[in-house]
Structure 1
Amino acid sequence: MDVNLPKVEYDLQAHSELRFEVEVNEPIQLELLEGTAEIYGSELVKGCVYKFYRGRKVAVFTAKETPMVLYVNVHAGLEQMRDQAAEQKSRGPRIMLAGPTDVGKSTICKMLVSWAARLKRTPILVDLDVGQPDLSIPGTIGASVIETPVDIEEGYNLSGPLIFHFGHITPQNNIDLYKVLISRLAEAVSMRAQNIEQTNYSGVVINTCGWVRDGGYRSIVHAAGAFEVDVVVVLDQERLYSELLRDMPEFVKVIMLQKSGGVVERTRTVRETTRDKKIYEYFYGTREQALYPHTFEVQWSSVKFFKIGGPDLPESMLPVGITLADNKTKVVSVTPSRNLMYHVCSVSTANTEKEIIQSNAAGFVVITQIDINKESVTLLSPSPGPLPFPYLLVMEDVKYNDELRSAIYKK
């Protein structure tokens, strides 16, 4: 239902950027009156009224601000590389965005793939940010071919994204598994690109997490090698730029760009709320496009619960021939108990236990009830039962209490 909201005119051409977050129940309406402007690379239509509901963060840009000009120049350089790839029947450019948290990496990725899609390109977007992912729920990494610009109101229009289970909201909790999954995803992305000529020419845009020190830095270097990147863009950190300039091969171009002046630092509470909202929308959709999940009971005998990664042990206590890395990437059986309440689980497409790490997720469920006497669990699922696969991978750091949070987002 439309509501009559007070009108506020904002001279975007003078300020170059407008950012806002919807914190009220009523939608915020946005209309471009004069000039030109974009949201994440998608151009606003003059006179069209856009609505943004609670929880949405929006950034409206013109191309007059200096960082925006630099971002457009990066896009122009990628386009030249794509044209060259098409002429030579070779692989298109692969660019990776790196930098600490809250410098605008995800925003620039959206811009780059949207600008490419507006020119009929079909790049692959790779998201390695397990804490604040755009392609799936927290605790995962993934990739998707982007065929259309990011929708101004809805965000990415994804078709068959490839998602892998990690199970934590920071790579620090299992850096060995994180690097294994990066390599597996890189292999899958290369295979998909090779099978689609236009996508191969269009290249890959990679978003990374905000952990850039110690193991986080090593994971960035690992990702650059696994995806065989051509360009690394560092946002707003001289030290990271110097380190990557030192450690990247000579054929990899490392450039540094300043972050947009409108980027703001998110609090821990905001990050937690964003993660909860991402899970809620996976099951229930948005105000504009509602979804209706299902709840059903599953006997323990028909499913198997696992987690990836053994307990933290000193190397001297590990079995002979087992390294610390092996221990953190092994598949561990989980006995059903009340401790699993509210944990999010990935439904693995693996056919055997040995294939679990190498297999992608078919979808996600939440354990909402556990009946010890009946030896059953009740699952919240986006589709009706039975489960298409029997292996459920427990996310150790990702929980969702549907009763509490659905009441918040339905307001």
Structure 2
Amino acid sequence: MADKEEEDTRPMKDWILVQNSELRLEVQNDNSVDIQLLFGVAEIFGTEMAKNMRYTISNQAKIAIFTDISCTIRILGSPDIAYVSTDTPMHIYRNTHFALEHLRRTAQQNDTFGPKVMVCGPTDVGKSTLCRLLSNYAVRSGHQPILVDIDVGQSDISIPGSIGVLPIERPAGIEENEFLKPGSLVYHYGHNNPASNLKFYDTLVSKTFEMYQERCKENPTNKYSGCIINTCGWIDGSGYKCLLHCAKVYEVDAVLVLDHERLCIDFQRDLPKTTSIIRLPKSGGTVVRGREFRKNHRNNVVREYFYGKKGSLSLFPFSFEVPFSEVSVYKIGAPEVPESCLPIGATAEDGNTQLVPVEINKDLVNRIVSLSMATSLEENVVSCSSAGFLCITAVNTDAETITVLSPAPSPLPRKFLLLSDIEFVDFK
């Protein structure tokens, strides 16, 4: 966010929004626009806009500027898509917030846990947006909910292939399009789909609940504020079983289902009667994202982890060599041993959460690894949180060194590296 008073020669248009309407904008590829609230009151996914402040919208952003009173919005530049709609479910989402607000107040009065809410639905129905909206409203009401993101394909807390827990203390930034992340806990999963290792995925979900409980013991405000859980869009078969596992582990008070009647019916059948199953409509501004878009988005998220947002000079990653002797690389999950290879009467061990050593060679180039917080193998490396992520950019087998791209300078604070399927080619 910044004041931008210099002369601007770009096209300018003022949009007048009536009560309970929203201005929907899409900015694609390398395009960017500035938006400014001239009159009235407006918000973007629950974050209030400051009057007369210019915000730059870029990085393939898709936003909706909503007003519950009326407002005038100025756009400088040429958005790829811009239109006003009065067909918005915002009043329903706001009523959902008010219901959660009542539960938080009751929790504070009775010294109990605040509402635990899980947001579910197929892909491209606005789950992440609704989680952000409800989190922002909660913070603006004086609470500090915990956001749990188990969507390993499009994580909003860290990079793809990870699961995160984030205490929310202030509304998300408009230009940054994300929450500040001090105090976040991130766990290595290593794949962008739960199907790659269902047992390990469920193990990590259970681990996030343990951490949520620990956080609530330390901070009563978090306890009374509850948590909001963002989930994957895989809702059939084993994907539904993962959702059910999460709901049961957290003993969620409410499941918010976006745009999927059958999923509501399934939850009503399989969850306790004390769990509220609420079907919500998706926004008409929700955009369907293709496979190529998702791939590019994941790559952009990793790039931003190291370099910051496009056009920003806020992050300067480090590149340095690390001797083979100073690191140990592992992956999580071993292939199943065929029954025919086992001794008579023996049963195969579950290798889904097994730590498997990985040989350091050129196959690791361009792979993302997480730096485990574990200090020894005696600790549970598999379920330890991550200190951060590195990209292996080169492997020199003769000198026995790897070159890594790192957000922090040498030396590495830990030695255990967990290999992921996520790749990143650093073109600077």
Partner of 2:82: none
- The 1:372/1:43 distance shift into structure 2, 3 A limit, reads same
Question: Aligned-pair RMSD on alpha carbons?
Answer: 1.8
Q: Distance in 2 between matches of 1:142 and 1:274?
A: 18
How far apart, in 2, do the equivalents of 1:272 and 1:19 lie?
24
Q: Check conservation: 2:256, 2:280, Cα contact below 8 A.
A: yes
1:215 aligns with 2:243: no
Show the counterpart of 1:368: 393
Q: Deviations over 1:288-311 (max 9, x none)?
A: 452001011011111100000112
TM-score of the two chains, using structure 1 as the length reference:
0.93
Match of 2:382 among 337, 357, 374: 357
* Counterpart in the other structure of 1:337: 361
Q: Which moved more, 1:365-374 or 1:37-46?
A: 37-46
CA apart distance, 1:227:
1.4
Q: Cα deviations across residues 225-279 of structure 1 (Å, max 9, x unaligned)? A: 1112100000001111110011011111111011011101001111111111111
Counterparts in 2 of 1:169-318, with a 5 A limit? Answer: 169-286=192-309, 287-288=311-312, 290-314=314-338, 316-317=340-341
- Report whether the alignment pairs 1:8 with 2:2: no
Q: How many aligned positions are there?
A: 401
Distance in 2 (alpha carbons) for counterparts of 1:294 and 1:38: 37
Asked if 1 retains the 8 angstrom alpha-carbon contact of 2:30 and 2:60, the reply is no
Deviates more, 1:281-290 or 1:92-101: 281-290
- Determine whether 1:115 maps to 2:120: no
Q: After superposition, what is the alpha-carbon deviation per residue over 1:365-391, rounded to whole angstroms, capped at 9, x for unaligned?
A: 000000011111000000111111100
Distance 2:41 2:87 in 1: 13
The structure with more helix, counted as a fraction of residues: 1
Report sequence identity in percent: 41
AA partner of residue 141 (structure 2):
L
Distance (Å, rounded) in 2 between the aligned partners of 1:309 and 1:161: 25
Segments of 4+ moved more than 6 angstroms: none
Counterpart Cα distance in 2 of 1:341 and 1:33: 50
Structure 1 unpaired stretches of 5+: 407-411
Whether contact under 8 Å (1:305, 1:334) holds in the other structure is yes
SS of structure 1 residue aligned to 2:383: coil
CA-CA distance at 1:314 after TM superposition: 4.3
Change (3 A) 1:318 1:135: farther
Counterpart position of 2:53: 48
**317 and 256 in structure 1: CA distance in 2 versus 1, 3 angstrom threshold:** farther
Larger deviation: 289-298 or 177-186?
A: 289-298
Instruction: After TM superposition, give the deviation of residue 109 of structure 1 in Å.
Output: 0.4
SS at match of 2:297: helix
Following the alignment from structure 1 to structure 2, what is the Cα–Cα distance between the partners of residues 12 and 172? 44
Structure 2 residue aligned with 1:39? 44
Indicate conservation of the 8 Å contact 2:394/2:404, yes or no: yes
Distance 1:210 1:313 in 2: 31
How far did 1:16 drift? 2.2
Deviations 1:35-61 (A, max 9, x none): 332111011223221112333332222
How far did residue 315 of structure 1 move? 5.1
Residue 370 of structure 2: aligned partner: 346
Alignment TM-score, normalising by the size of structure 2: 0.90
What's 1:409 paired with? none
Q: Which runs of 5+ in 2 are unaligned?
A: 69-85
1:348 and 1:393 in contact (8 A); partners too: yes
Q: 1:168 is matched by which residue type in structure 2?
A: H
* Matched letter for residue 191 of structure 1: E
Q: Deviations over 1:329-368 (max 9, x none)?
A: 1111000111111000000011223511120000000000
Residues 202 and 242 in structure 2, CA contact (< 8 A), matched pair in contact too: yes
Q: Is the 8 A contact 1:124 1:146 kept in 2?
A: yes
Match of 1:83 among 83, 105, 108: 105
Equivalences for 1:62-81 in 2 at 5 Å?
Answer: 62-63=67-68, 65-81=87-103
Judge conservation of contact 1:124–1:199 (CA < 8 Å) in 2: yes
State the SS of the aligned residue for 2:329.
Answer: strand
> Aligned runs of 1:371-390 on 2, under 5 Å?
371-390=396-415
